[in-house]
Amino acid sequence: MNDFAHLAVTRASLDNCVKCTICETQCPVMAVTSKFPGPKYIGPQAERFRNGESVDHSLDYCSGCGICTLSCPQGVQIAELNAQARAVMKEDHMPLRDQLVSRTTVMGALMTPVAPLANGALRIKPLRKIVQAIVGIHEDAPMPVANGRTFEAWFNKRPKRTTPAPRGALVFFHGCAGEYFEVETSIKSVEVLEHIGYEVLVPKQGCCGLAQQSNGLFDTATKAVLKLCDELTSAGKDLTIISSSGSCTGMLKHEAHEIMGVDDSRLKDVGTRIRDISEFLLELHDQGELPEDFQRIEQVVPYHAPCQLKSQGMGLPVIPLLELIPGLTVVESGANCCGIAGTYGLKKEKYEIAQAVGKPLFDMVKATNEGLAVCDTETCRWQIRKGTGVQVEHPVWLIHKAYGLS
């Protein structure tokens, strides 16, 4: 298994490392713990000593946030190297916990029908202690709140849309969290796209495999991402695909290819057609095609750009987009990562690190919010909600409100 990881094709980029330390200065994990010697050591330096076997298991403390790769001026694929080395390191003794937390659809599907029960169970302290002891998920780790109805159920049961769609059709990719937990964000995304004149198609769709990828389960993740590509394409071959799941979008755009070596025309096709919703709306604005009859929202809103959104190399489209709303002031968190990094911050041995990584962000959000903070990815929102007690939503909530839709 994991042939691509064994071959470590990204290894070729390690010779570009000039040891400049820029990645070290940006690494959010290295900043808060001495357990992780940093991206320069664990990435290009340690990689020279790996021959199948990892010489240094502190590799597992890399959260995979990708800030190192993003910041590297020499094009070294540090985070990708780490992800591959970790997949090889863990393949003979993959913890049950890591297999469980990466099954996002299963979690959602099991919790939704029994939402009050599941939500209640996750709040039972003794139960969480048992889970921590047996499974290894920290008792205080942020958990999603099950919704009771899925996004698909809403989409399929709502009254048939009668307003025109002069701009043609788009495909909406909701991601697992957008289907089961952050249902409201998916609904608002669809309503915004329909409001500005698109027909939104939602084919039946599964998981992108990101959580499995980040836990080193490349085979299952590859199967998942290719199945998803087929599903998204089933709605129409050349349509633009929109998502409000920032990190799942990144999986399709580049991570499945660059980390797992998925070299498949279906992924290439979907990966070039998918847009983050803010990226898409800002592009419309730049082309003079975005309706900008926004209602005034007199508010200061802290915004955290998740690491996996930043790693898509498109800048921060949310800021200029939201500031089209009169009265709205966006304050960028300036934090490289919230700490959760997908499933990293759930794990009992990494929980404290993830909280320490998030602390400056939590302090910033607490100090600047006027009742709302925004962030593009689901697990990051759970982390920031838990760390601050502040309502944290997807930026599309503000666009939805400014269009008078809520």
Partner 1 sequence: MSTPHVVVIGSGLAGLTAAHRLMAGGARVTLVTKGLGGLQLSQGTIDVLGYAPGRVERPLESLASLPAEHPYRTIGAEAVATALGYLTDVVVDDLLAGEAAQNVWLPTAVGAVRPTALAQPSMLGGQCVRGARFVIVGPKQLKDFHPALIAGNLARTDLPDGGRLDARPASFDLPGRDHEVDSSGLTYARALDDPAFRARFAAAVKPLVEPGESVGLPGILGLKDRNAWRALQDLIGHPIFEIPLPPPSVPGMRLNETLTNGLKAARARFILGSKVVGFAADGDVLRSVTLGEAGRQVVIAADAFVLAAGGFESGALDMDSYGVVTDTIFGLPLVGLDAPLIHGDYWGAAQPVFAAGVAVDSSMRVLDGDRVVYANLRAAGGVLAGAQRWQELSGDGIAAASAVIAADSILGGRA
CB of 336 to partner 1, least distance (A): 11
| Shorter beta-carbon distance to partner 1: residue 115 or 316 | 316
The terminus-to-terminus CA distance of the chain in angstroms comes to: 49
Q: Does 250 bind partner 1 (CB under 8 A)?
A: yes
State in angstroms the smallest separation of the CB of 250 from partner 1: 7
CA–CA distance, 297 with 406 (Å, rounded to integer): 12
Stretch that binds partner 1, among 6-14, 179-187, 204-212, 308-316 (CB under 8 A): 308-316
Interior angle at CA 59, CA 58 and CA 60, nearest 5? 85
Q: Measured from the CB atom, is 70 or 176 closer to partner 1? A: 70
Q: Pick one of 313, 326, 389, 404: the residue that binds partner 1 (CB under 8 A).
A: 313
Q: Does 377 bind partner 1 (CB under 8 A)?
A: no
Among 45, 58, 71, 368, binds partner 1 (CB under 8 A): 71
Count of residues that interact with partner 1, criterion CB under 8 A: 35
DSSP 395: T
Q: How far apart are CA 406 and CA 400, in angstroms?
A: 6
Identify the sign of the CA torsion 274, 276, 281, 285: negative
Question: Given the rule CB under 8 A, which of 101-109, 232-240, 266-274, 391-399 is the region that contacts partner 1?
Answer: 266-274
Q: Is 266 in the site for partner 1 (CB under 8 A)?
A: no
Query: Judged by CB under 8 A, does residue 220 bind partner 1?
Result: no
Q: Which one among 168, 291, 327, 334 touches partner 1, defined by CB under 8 A?
A: 334
What is the C-alpha separation between 345 and 319, in angstroms, rounded?
27
Choice between 120 and 230, CB closer to partner 1: 230
Residue 101 CA neighbour count, 13 Å, CB half: 29
By CB under 8 A, is residue 50 in contact with partner 1? no
Pairing of strands 169-173, 199-201: parallel
Cβ-based nearer residue to partner 1, 147 or 244: 244
Which one of residues 252, 262, 321, 322 is an interface residue with partner 1 (CB under 8 A)? 252
The whole-angstrom distance between residue 184's C-alpha and the CA centroid of its chain comes to 17
CB of 46 to partner 1, least distance (A): 17
Q: With binding defined as CB under 8 A, does residue 304 bind partner 1? A: no
Q: In what order do the strands lie in the sheet with 299-304?
A: 328-332, 299-304, 373-375, 392-393
Which strands, in side-by-side order, build the sheet including 241-243? 199-201, 169-173, 241-243, 274-276
Q: Does residue 289 interact with partner 1 by CB under 8 A?
A: no
Dihedral over Cα of 12, 58, 102, 386: its sign: negative
Sites of contact with partner 1 (CB under 8 A): 18, 20-22, 24-26, 31, 34, 69-75, 250, 252-254, 271-272, 274, 310-316, 319-320, 323, 332, 334
